[in-house]
Amino acid sequence: DAKTTQPNSMESNEEEPVHLPCNHSTISGTDYIHWYRQLPSQGPEYVIHGLTSNVNNRMASLAIAEDRKSSTLILHRATLRDAAVYYCIHQSSGGGADGLTFGKGTHLIIQP
Amino acid sequence: ETGVTQSPTHLIKTRGQQVTLRCSSQSGHNTVSWYQQALGQGPQFIFQYYREEENGRGNFPPRFSGLQFPNYSSELNVNALELDDSALYLCASSLDQGPLVDTQYFGPGTRLTVL
């Protein structure tokens, strides 16, 4: 199974940037890196994904290390609504019908 | 465009019973995946259906089965319920290529309690 390592929890202040780290030292060349988040009492929500290059979308930015063994999800200006569990996932895109393998994720706490 | 919906929201069953959980995917999404999420854990992949055929399965026994229908609805059936089956059950739909490439859209889940 693909495996990632994330801190159990992180705390940040509202309106400040948040950098959520993820280590994925066993990643292979074809594995996408996905980030999902799960707000309280909701299903997971897609945040962003990438393969090699850094990626930006309206929710966040994904910075991928050159050796791809780690990545960082960046929330540029955290709001209270960003308090959630953030999951970093990597998995082979070998065409198999495998679901995403979630770990325990990082519980992000936002202080007002 | 409507989101992914699931029913019921909550369900209580007793050990040994059977249960059917329902999911309505986003229109046009040919792939649906089901996940089990125990309290305090991340979701665990049960299986995936593509165009009404199961095409991938996680480490779950055969008493977990499913169906996908042409109208973008699907079902998860669990027979011979055990106490450890108590969890949040999530369905997720994606366009065509599955969760490794396509964005997955999750429903809010069904909370199953087995007594």
- Residue in B closest to A102 by C-alpha: B42
Q: Pull the structure tokens for residue B78.
A: 């669990």
Chain A residues in contact with B110 by the CB 8 A cut-off are none
Tell me which chain B residues have a C-beta less than 8 angstroms from the C-beta of A97: 48, 50, 55-56, 98
Q: Token pair for residue B66?
A: 């499913």
For A81, the 3-state DSSP assignment is: helix
Question: For chain B, what percent of residues have pLDDT higher than 90?
Answer: 76
B45: chain A residues, CB-CB within 8 Å: 98-101
> CA-CA distance, A103 to A110, in Å (whole number)?
21
Are A77 and A15 spatial neighbours (Cβ–Cβ below 8 Å)? yes
Report how far residue A19's alpha carbon sits from residue A46's, in angstroms, rounded to the nearest whole number: 17
Compute the distance between CA of residue A8 and CA of residue A85 in angstroms, rounded to an integer: 9
**3-class DSSP state for residue B112?**
strand
The answer to which of A58-67, B41-50, B54-63, B95-104 has the lowest mean pLDDT is B95-104
Determine, for residues B100 and A93 on separate chains, whether the beta-carbon distance falls below 8 Å: yes
- Å between B61 CA and nearest CA of chain A: 16
Mutation target to probe the B interface, by most B beta carbons within 10 A, among A98, A101, A106 is: A98
Q: DSSP letter string over A13-52? A: ETTS-EEEEEE-TT--TT-EEEEEEE-TTS--EEEEEESS
Predicted confidence at residue B45, as pLDDT, reads 92
Shortest distance, CA A87 to any CA of chain B (angstroms) = 8
Give the pLDDT mean for B16-27: 95
Tokens of A103: 């770990």
Angle at B43 between CA B40 and CA B47, to 5 degrees: 150
- The answer to whether the Cβ–Cβ distance between B50 and A92 falls below 8 Å is no
**Integer angstrom CA distances of residue B21 from B10, B59, B64:** 10, 19, 11
Which residue from B minimizes the CA distance to A104?
A: B42
A6 close to A88: Cβ distance less than 8 angstroms:
yes
In DSSP terms, A72 is beta-bridged to A21, A63
Cβ of B33 within 8 Å of Cβ of A96? The answer is no
Q: pLDDT-based confidence at B43, cuts 50/70/90? A: very high
> Regarding predicted confidence, which is higher, B15 or B100?
B15
Mean pLDDT in order along chain A per 10 residues (112 residues): 85 96 87 92 93 92 94 96 94 64 93 94
Average pLDDT of the residues in B74-103: 88
Question: Using a CB-CB distance cutoff of 8 angstroms, which residues of chain A are in contact with residue B108?
Answer: 41-43
**B residues 36-95 lying closer than 8 A (beta carbon) to A:** 40-48, 50, 55-56, 58, 90, 92
